[in-house]
Amino acid sequence: MYLEAVDIHVAYDCVRALQGVSVSLDKGEIVTLIGANGAGKTSILRAITALKSIQGGSILFDGEPIDRLSTVEIVARGIVMVPEGRHVFPLMTVKDNLMMGAFLRKDKAQIAKSLEMVLGLFPRLRERIGQVAGTMSGGEQQMLVIGRGLMAKPKLLLLDEPSLGVAPLFVQEIARAIVDINREEKMSIILVEQNSRMALKISHRAYVLVTGKIVLGGESGALYKDERVRHAYLGGSVE
């Protein structure tokens, strides 16, 4: 496995956010985490990136333990997280926001290629390359933060709620971009998403979390048709 998080325990003060959670990802996969608010999805991403210390368990990436590394060291290993909330630098241009994602890189020619790749994925960003980021719509800002994450040239991209608060048209564009990133760039992706229908359609495998525990896991296509998932997360019907 490319990433293995085994028997992870995470707590916030006295609240146990993750209780013996194990998730894995093969190289080149899209794995999605679905569940209600507070289920522990984001806590898994925070544990992987050392934004939250684990109280038990282990995390391995590409065969090496990373659960005792700092966030900076983990980013340097090639794991990049795009957090929930569209955190752009509002007074900077689109281009400057994107270039901030490449701050650890020294390969100028490859940085230029990454920029062209991002602008190809998100044509709206090319159209607004000189625009101040704070004046963009919510959907455009979400594209921008994903693009900024890609500028770091990650091996593993962690996406936290990329469709949250985004208009349906932009949700479709973001979903298409995630698939393209995975297929064209061979990038491994862990997707946390409350739009369970979209997440299951574009991912290879999925885990369902309830109050800090995994209750279901398997191929996304099978979970999409599972009666329990349908009624709890897909509105009781499958297209």
Per-residue pLDDT of the chain (239 residues; tens, 9 = 90+): 999 999 999 999 889 999 999 999 999 999 999 999 999 999 999 999 999 999 999 999 999 999 999 999 999 999 999 999 889 999 999 999 999 999 988 999 999 999 999 999 999 999 999 999 999 999 999 999 999 999 999 999 999 999 998 899 899 999 999 999 999 999 999 999 989 999 999 999 999 999 999 999 999 999 999 999 988 888 655 44
Q: What is the pLDDT at residue 238?
A: 47
Instruction: Tell me the domains of the chain and their CATH numbers.
Output: 1-78+154-239 (3.40.50.300), 84-151 (no CATH)
Q: What is the pLDDT at residue 234?
A: 80
Query: Which 3-state string (H, E, C) describes the chain?
Result: CCEEEEEEEEEECCEEEEEEEEEEECCCCEEEEECCCCCCHHHHHHHHCCCCCCCEEEEEECCEECCCCCHHHHHHHCEEEECCCCCCCCCCEHHHHHHHCCCCCCCHHHHHHHHHHHHHHCHHHHHCCCCEHHHCCHHHHHHHHHHHHHCCCCCEEEEECCCCCCCHHHHHHHHHHHHHHHHHHCCEEEEECCCHHHHHHHCCEEEEEECCEEEEEEEHHHHHHCHHHHHHHCCCCCC
- What global pTM score does this model have? 0.94
Q: What is the pLDDT at residue 232?
A: 85
